[in-house]
Amino acid sequence: MSDYKQINYEQRETSIQITLNRPEKRNALSAELIGELKRAFAQAAAEDTTRVVILRAAGPDFCAGADLAQLERVSQAGILENLADAEQFADLLVQIRRLPQPVVAAVHGRAFAGGAGLATACDLVIATKSARFSYTEVKIGFVPAIVLAFIRRNLPEKRAFEVLTTGKIWSSEEAERLGFVNRVVEDEDFESAITKVIEEYAAVSGSAVALTKSLLYQIDAMTFEQAMRAGVEMNAIARMTPDCQNGIRRFLGKTGDRQG
């Protein structure tokens, strides 16, 4: 859309690419940028042909965290204003989780503080070898509170504690070993790696992926029995989708040909 000023929104055949576009500010998270991202993800959610959303960034860094002007406002604001401001970022991260399509963070350069949180909230993270991740909030007396829920679901407890409380800068390969990066690629292979993940999701059922994503993120707070029941219900729903019914017909046709 032409009225986006701090992001680029590009719809392709089976994917949408949302690009943070404040390179002169290292794509720092301003209130305006967060608002535009929320609108962009809402727009993407309504696109039936989109199989995957790629979140990436212009310039040398993915996202440096909160905008300096935003931090200055935080230091001067009262509790109600700070609550409202924090809720905007939280709403964005929850929106990513609820999007029917998988969201892939394509990270190069630095992803620090809220920028690391933004990447971690995505369903998959692809990073270049030169990418760096850090939850730097503790260095200025701040708490990575909103993104903590995502890190805790990505990492074991002791690893999560270390990542969130040391302010250490992690290489992309270290982040992959810890578990909050899925794939690390050579810098020169970054674009081809993004193309590959788009092709992977174009080759599978969009409705099946959406239902799987929904179920996966629902079961965190469930007992085993509740999770099994939710699985039974989702299984029944999946059977009724056109993708599943057409897929079964194709499978049975191929099986019939072999038996004949």
28 pLDDT higher than 60: yes
- pLDDT of 258 higher than 60: no
Tell which of 202, 221, 238 closes a domain: 202
Q: Does 37 share its domain with 106?
A: yes
Q: Give a yes or no: residue 1 inside a domain.
A: no
Span 211-234, average pLDDT: 94
What percentage of the chain has pLDDT greater than the value 70? Answer: 96
Q: pLDDT, tens digit, for every residue of 162-184?
A: 999 999 999 999 999 999 999 99
- Helices (runs of H) and strands (runs of E) counted in the chain: 11, 9
What's the domain range around 251? 206-259
Say how far apart CA 246 and CA 147 lie, in whole Å: 39
Between CA 22 and CA 118 the distance in angstroms is: 15
Which residues participate in catalysis according to the annotation? 137
pLDDT tens by residue, 133-151? 999 999 989 899 999 999 9
Give residue-wise pLDDT tens across range 55-102: 999 999 999 998 877 767 777 878 888 888 889 999 999 999 999 999
- Is the distance from CB of 89 to CB of 247 less than 8 angstroms? no
Residues 188 and 210 in one domain: no
Residue 260 has pLDDT above 50, yes or no: no
Can you give the pTM of this predicted structure?
0.92
Residue 18 shares a structural domain with residue 132: yes
Query: Do residue 79 and residue 182 come from a single domain?
Result: yes
Number of domains comprising the chain:
2
- Do residues 58 and 88 both lie within one domain? yes
Main-chain phi, psi angles of 107, to 5 degrees: -110, 125
Q: Looking at the structure, tell me whether residues 17 and 94 fall in a common domain.
A: yes
- 187 and 214 in one domain? no
DSSP one-letter code for 136? G
